[in-house]
Amino acid sequence: MKRAVSSLAVVCALGLAATACSDATAGSSGAAPTGSVDATASLKGVHLTMWVAQNSVTEPKQVIDAFEKATGATVSTQVIPDPYESNVPTKLASGDKPDLMFWQPTGSTLPFIQPAKNLLQLDNEDWVSKLGKTEQGLGQVDGHRYAAIVTSPASLGVYYNKDVFKKAGITKMPTSYDDLLATAATIKSKTGVAPFFEVGGDKWPLQWQVQLQMTDLPQSFWDKLNKNQAKWTDPVIVNAIKKYKAKVLDGGLAQKNYKTATFVDQGKAILDGSAAMAVNVTSLQSEIQATASTAEMDQKLGWFPVSNSSAKALYSPDQTNGVVAFNTGDAKRQNAARQFLSFWLGKDYPAYIKANKVVSVEPSVPNPAGLPQTALAQADSLSSATGVFQVKALTAPDMHLALADMIYGKKTPQQVAQAAEDQFTQVLKARGVAGF
Look up the pTM and report it. Answer: 0.85
Domain range 7-153+317-365, its CATH number among 3.30.1650.10, 3.40.50.1820, 3.90.660.10, 3.40.190.10: 3.40.190.10
pLDDT, tens only, 285-317? 989 988 999 999 999 999 999 999 999 999 999
C-alpha–C-alpha distance, residues 316 and 361, integer Å: 14
Q: What's the residue count for the chain?
A: 436
Q: Is it the case that residue 4 has pLDDT exceeding 80?
A: no
Q: Is it the case that residue 276 has pLDDT exceeding 60?
A: yes
C-alpha–C-alpha distance, residues 395 and 381, integer Å: 25
pLDDT-above-70 percentage for the chain: 92
Helices (H) and strands (E) in the chain, counts: 19, 13
Question: What type of residue is 293?
Answer: S
Residue 28 banded pLDDT, cuts 50, 70, 90? very low
Residue 11 banded pLDDT, cuts 50, 70, 90? low
C-alpha–C-alpha distance, residues 394 and 4, integer Å: 14
Domain ranges of the chain: 7-153+317-365, 156-316+390-430
Q: Is it the case that residue 9 has pLDDT exceeding 90?
A: no
Return the half-sphere exposure (C-beta side, CA atoms, 13 A cut-off) of residue 188.
Answer: 18
C-alpha–C-alpha distance, residues 44 and 90, integer Å: 32
Nearest CA among 118, 121, 129 for reference residue 33:
121
**What is the per-residue burial (b if ≥16 Cβ within 10 Å, else e) of 276-313?**
bbbbbbbbbbbbbbeebebeebeebbbbbbbbbeebbb
Can 7-153+317-365 and 156-316+390-430 be said to share one CATH topology? yes
The mean per-residue pLDDT over the stretch 241-253 comes to 98
Q: For residues 303, 380, 150 and 370, what is the CA-based torsion angle, rounded to 10 degrees?
A: 70
pLDDT score of 61: 97
Element (H, E) at 85: helix 84-93
Reduced 3-state DSSP string for 271-291: HHCCEEEEEECHHHHHHHHCC
C-alpha–C-alpha distance, residues 94 and 117, integer Å: 14
Q: Is it the case that residue 86 has pLDDT exceeding 90?
A: no
The mean per-residue pLDDT over the stretch 403-423 comes to 98
Nearest CA among 389, 390, 395, 388 for reference residue 430:
395
pLDDT, tens only, 330-382? 999 999 999 999 999 999 999 999 999 899 999 999 999 999 999 999 999 99
Nearest CA among 385, 403, 373, 399 for reference residue 159:
373
**Do residues 230 and 224 make contact, with C-beta atoms less than 8 angstroms apart?**
yes
C-alpha–C-alpha distance, residues 106 and 4, integer Å: 12
Comparing 160 with 55, the larger pLDDT belongs to 160
CATH 3.40.190.10 fits 156-316+390-430, yes or no: yes
Q: Is it the case that residue 113 has pLDDT exceeding 80?
A: yes
Provide the 10 A C-beta neighbour count for residue 222. Answer: 17
Strand partners, 254: 196
Q: For residues 316, 433, 96 and 154, what is the CA-based torsion angle, rounded to 10 degrees?
A: 0
Tell me 128's DSSP state: G
Question: What type of residue is 321?
Answer: N
Return the half-sphere exposure (C-beta side, CA atoms, 13 A cut-off) of residue 331.
Answer: 5
> Cβ-count burial of 201 within 10 angstroms (0-12 exposed, 13-18 middle, 19+ buried)?
middle
Dihedral sign of CA atoms 318, 321, 322, 323 in order: positive
pLDDT-above-90 percentage for the chain: 87
Question: Average pLDDT over the chain, rounded to whole?
Answer: 92
